[in-house]
Structure 1
Amino acid sequence: MSHGEPDFLFEAVANSLEAGANRIVIDYKRYQEFVDITVTDDGEGFSCDVFSKGVSTKGKNRGNGLFLLKEKALSCSIKRENSFTTLFYRMKLAESSPLSEVLPFIFSYADYEVAIEFVFCSEVLNERISSDALKVEFGTLSSVRALSALKKRFSMFDL
């Protein structure tokens, strides 16, 4: 990820995985000045104010990722409904990491019985990519060959 700062899309997916999610859907809507990102999962959810510094359901010395997200985001929210957790945040486009850097690593987690779907929308491009389809094409999503090919494929989102 870029400049040593946390990548909040990767952070959101990592939170989903740590919560035991088997299915993760990422909706990424790019506008001229900002992006709206929604991450929905079927993990176990949460029971506290996850946007507070140092508050975590995962143990000591944790709980900074969503706090930092709230500090940098133009807006953000989280809700639990019908066994699904949905995190929404809006970032300035200039502060979001290139998707070609983040998505290959996110999709590499699909090798571990997790289904991931990425939906990209902009004024010029609408694309839906599922880990199931990528597994058919590559077999494994965590090999160096697959990560390199995914980086090249996802570069279309960085325009």
Structure 2
Amino acid sequence: MSEHKLDDTKLKKLEDYIDGLEDKEGALINVLHEAQDLFGYLPEELQLFISRKLGLTAAKVFGVATFYSFFTMEPRGKHVISVCMGTACFVKGAEKVLNEFKAQLNIKDNNTSEDGLFTIDTLRCVGACGLAPVVTVDGKVYGRVKVEDVEGIIKEFM
């Protein structure tokens, strides 16, 4: 188990949030969302804290945290760039767009830029196939993205 020291102020906010819940039993997903909003990700120690506070097994918490793709166990950048790799986007060049983001941000394997500013991930389908290829940055949608649009999109978030 990795040993990250959890921020006590954030931990207290999470504890107050959990203590304020009427139905702790059905609150796991909401608690995980709150924890990820506070900490940016869900390290193992934080999942253990949540399991103790909710009276759930660590396996249950980990199972839910890993099942849903919007939860992450790794620290993420300040801005999250998601490139849709669904069929329509892929056919219209999403992979080239993804590779251009990685090249311009000098991102290799871990999907987060060295300065911690950007994390890149891929999605299966955004549901906006008519706008293919689609990229989202922090939820803002960019449609019909071309390789030459990448630099401008990055600059919006610098």
Fold shared by both chains (TM-score > 0.5): no
| Structure with the largest fraction of helix | 2
Structure with the larger RCO, 1 or 2 (CA within 8 Å, 6+ apart): 1
| Structure with the largest fraction of strand | 1
With the length of structure 2 as denominator, give the TM-score of the two structures: 0.22
| Structure whose alpha-carbon radius of gyration is higher | 2
